[in-house]
Chain A
């Protein structure tokens, strides 16, 4: 009775956890199962990979949307990583005007619901007369990616002491050399995880993109959205499975890459 509760004995929390995992994974398992179903809809009629064949060989619009997504994700992540990293270096190690302002500004987009950012950007773009296109999608993605890169790099920099920068300066390094030879190398894990987080968030985003996209600028989530509106589609089942595998693979390799860097 009075023995400390061990994990095996805490049967209530264990039951809830197992139930939760089933709840979380079951829908995804159903998608996997149905992606191999031969019939287009209704019950199980037999195993088939024809939806995967259709996905890879006969879905030009889907791949165009994927191309748009890839361009926006890599482009916005690259810009957000450069700007966000510099911002984090400034906030962590230097004193300048508007330091508190920048900290608040990088915090706010992360807490506001996505729809607010989407709506305000749409109103803004129309106000300044910028036509909605893949470019406006790119601008929006940089805005919501930047704070994440900033925070991840900042978290990495906070592990280091300012004396690193001081030592570089004492040894005669210029500001540029200090940045390129000292600060950036030690921030690499933060920069890499910031960049990959930005790519993932960008590929993932539906709500903000929905508001700021224009004709011809369909991204993959927008394509999935329009497909869902027409009901269940086996090609989308197959696409889901590919995307789940892709994310798991990407995350797994990121972790290993970061471990590799940390071990160096």
Chain B
């Protein structure tokens, strides 16, 4: 068996991993009554959350926002510096 075959057999071995036979029973036992029932959906800041997720998926937008934040910070520093100089 060469290295490439060994790599494939390693991947196959990793894919064969199975949970133990009692796994499903264990889960069902934990969620059986009188355990807590599924919660109703909570209203949340959904629009903002979606916007954050959208930004996270777009590296260019993320970079642009970072640049804007840096420029805003620099402008703020400059303004503070000018105020200090005026004294």
Partners in one complex: no
Question: Residues on A close to B: CB < 8 A?
Answer: none
